Each structure stands twice: as structure tokens, then as C-alpha cells.
Structure 1
């Protein structure tokens, strides 16, 4: 997979290093000469250019990329890059970094963003996930399908502790994708027995979250 990353700061370089380690081709684009540090991510391609300029993206051959990641520290830049990538170069997948939570609503299909990554929101969700037992926590939103990755930890008094997955009448638009038990990832097979403390990961539609929380953690 060929991935272009606009923004070669600490975030962009870190993402590039991870992608390279996973065997992908990575191009880092930045207009600041001081950000071009090929010694830090030696396996990546580098381009000194302004990713908001069509000519720069043409030079980068963006039409050959499978993913465009806008990872700069400027939300305006990230939106423009995502829009150009999607509308002018038909990049199949765009990922936009949200720096300021108040701008998150802009990172949508109308601006060419398939996936918006908000660091403040992710950190808040991870904190909630670490301390909340019985409360449903939204971890991530898939913009294209308007679905969510959510987590709920089974309380000891949940009516479905000791039940199998097939015994639980999950909401129609809530799909159980994994059961996390201690340090083990378990497949949610129909005969999997649920235990107190299990972390259940679901992909859900918007309206299914309330019924899911009420099912597994009913009000006292």
C-alpha cells in the first residue's frame, strides 16, 4: 500500500515509521526544510513542498496513493489536503488529524475526510475506558458508515454474567467483535461464556448504543 503523509512533524514521522515497519510505501510531504529529516525515517520518501498546492500533489503522484494522511498541526491545512486528495486525485482513503476539538464537525465527507482522528477525544475515551465499569464508552467513529466502535465492561451484577454470547439478545445494529479478558483477545463465538470484568467491543449504529448499555448494565 502506498501512503502519503502531509506533515513531517513528530506525529507524521511516527505514523510513517509504523507504516514502514508494517511493509507499506510511505511518502512524507512538508514545506519546511527543517522538517525534512530523512535520517529519522530513512525508509520513507521525502518531498519538500506545500501539500495545499495542486502542483505539489501532482509531483507527489498522489493519484497512485491508496491513503492520504493529513497530519499537520493546522486544521485548515488538513482539511484542504483531504479535499484535494479526494476530489482531484480520487485517493480511496483519507485520514485527517483534528487538532482542535471545536473543529471536529468540519472533518466530514463534505471536506473529503473519510476518517477523522481527534487526539483529545481519543485520550478522553481511553481514560473513560480505563476507569468506567458498566458504562458504555465510544472509542472511535467511522465517518463513512456513521457507525461507532464502543466498549463496555461487564459489571459483576450484569444479568448476562455467566451467559453465552448466543443467549444475549443484542440490539439489531450492534455487532460484538471481540471479548477482552485480562490480556487475552477472545473471539465472540456463540458458545463463549461472558464473565464479570470482560471488556466487550462492539461496532454499533448510532441508535443502538442506549439499548446496548441498558441491556448489559441495567439501571439499579
Structure 2
């Protein structure tokens, strides 16, 4: 997979290193000569250019990329880069870094952003996930904001605690994708059981989140939005 990363600062380089390690072809773009540190990651391509300029993106061959990541420290730049990559070059997948929470509402398909990543939101989600039992926490919103990755730590009072996984009929199109038990992640086994204290990860349509929360924890269940999208449910994550 060919991935272009606009912004070769600490965040961009860290992402690039991870993706190079997984065998992907990486191009890093930055307009600041001090950010071009090709010796730190010689496996990647490096380009000194302004990714907000159409000519720079043409030079970089953005139309050959599968994913574009706008990872600069400037939200305005990240929005422009995402929009150009999506509308002018038809990049299939764009990811935008949100630096300031107040700008999160802009990072959507209107600006060409398929997935937005907000560090403040993500940190809030991790804190919430660690301390909240009985609340459904939205961790991530997928393409166009229709589906989400959600988590709940199953309370002892849950009606499904002790029940067989395969006997559950989850609301809508909700899919149980993983169970974290005693610090270890496992795939759901239809013959296995759900236990109090399990961290359950679901992929579900956002319209089904509250119903899923009610199934898992009728009296305590509440949906908290700790995703990278604009809050739509009961309690926002921040």
C-alpha cells in the first residue's frame, strides 16, 4: 500500500516508521527543511514541498497513493490537504489529524476527511475506558460517521453476564469483534461466555448504540462519545 504523509514532524515520522515496519510504501512531505530527516527513515521517500499546493501534490504523485494522512500541526493545513487529496486526486482514503478539539466538527467528508484522529479525544477515551463500568464508550467513528467502534466494561448487574456468546442477538447490525479479559484479547467464541469485568468491543451503527447500551447494562448503560467525530449520543466524551 502506498501512503503519503503530509507533515514530517514527530507525529508524521512516528506514523511513517510504524507503516514502513509493516511493509508499506511511504512518502513524507514537509515544507520545513528542518523536518526532512531522511537519515532517520531511509526506507521512506522524502519530499521538501508545501502539501497545501496543488503543484506539490502533483509532483508527489498523489494520484498513485492509496491513503493520504494529513499530520501537520496546523488544522487549517490538514483540512486543505485532505480536501485536495480527495477531490483533486481521488485518494481512496484520507486521515486528518485534529490538533484543537474546537475544530473537530470540520473534519468530515465535506472537507474530504474520511477518518479524523484527535489526540485529546483519544486520551479522553482511554481514561474513560479505564474507569467506566456499565457505560458504552464510542472510541472511533468510521467512514462518513455511520458506524463506530464502541467499548463497554460489563458490570456484574448486566443481564448478559454469564450468558453464552452465541445465544446473544445484538441490536441492529452490531457485531462483537473482541473480548478483553484479564488483560488478554480474544476473539469471541460462540460457545464461550460473557463475564462481568469483560471489556467488550463492538462495531455498530451509531443509531443502534443506545439500544446496545441498554441490552448490556439496562440501568447503568449510557453512551459516551469519545470518538473523533461530532458527539451525537447522550454524553459527549469531553
Distance 2:143 2:99 in 1: 17
Distance 1:168 1:23 in 2: 38
Map 1:63-102 onto structure 2 (within 5 A). Answer: 63-102=63-102
Distance 2:8 2:178 in 1: 34
SS class of match (2:177)? strand
Aligned CA RMSD, in angstroms, stands at 1.2
Distance 1:119 1:145 in 2: 18
Map 1:148-167 onto structure 2 (within 5 A). Answer: 148-167=148-167
Distance 2:96 2:197 in 1: 34
Map 1:116-155 onto structure 2 (within 5 A). Answer: 116-144=116-144, 146-155=146-155
Q: Which has the higher contact order (CA 8 A, sep 6+)?
A: 2
Q: Render the CA deviation track for 1:35-94: whole Å, top value 9, x for unaligned.
A: 111122221110000001111011101111111000000011001001110111111110
Contact kept? 1:116, 1:143, Cα under 8 Å: no
* Residue segments in structure 2 that go unaligned for 5+ positions in a row: 221-238
Deviates more, 1:198-207 or 1:64-73: 198-207
**Number of the residue aligned with 1:22:** 22
Contact kept? 1:63, 1:91, Cα under 8 Å: yes
**Number of the residue aligned with 1:31:** 31
1:216 deviates by: 1.1
Find runs of 4+ consecutive structure 1 residues off by over 6 angstroms.
none
1:165 deviates by: 1.4
- 1:173 equivalent in alignment to 2:176: no
SS class of match (2:152)? strand
Distance 1:167 1:63 in 2: 47
Q: Render the CA deviation track for 1:134-187: whole Å, top value 9, x for unaligned.
A: 111111011335111000011122121110112233211321111111232222
**Number of the residue aligned with 2:2:** 2
How many residue pairs align between the two structures?
220
1:211 deviates by: 1.4
Distance 2:143 2:76 in 1: 19
- 1:40 equivalent in alignment to 2:40: yes
Distance 1:214 1:144 in 2: 25
Distance 1:66 1:169 in 2: 36
Distance 1:145 1:165 in 2: 28
1:7 deviates by: 0.3
* Residue segments in structure 1 that go unaligned for 5+ positions in a row: none
TM-score, structure 2 normalization: 0.89
Distance 2:166 2:18 in 1: 37
**Number of the residue aligned with 1:188:** 188
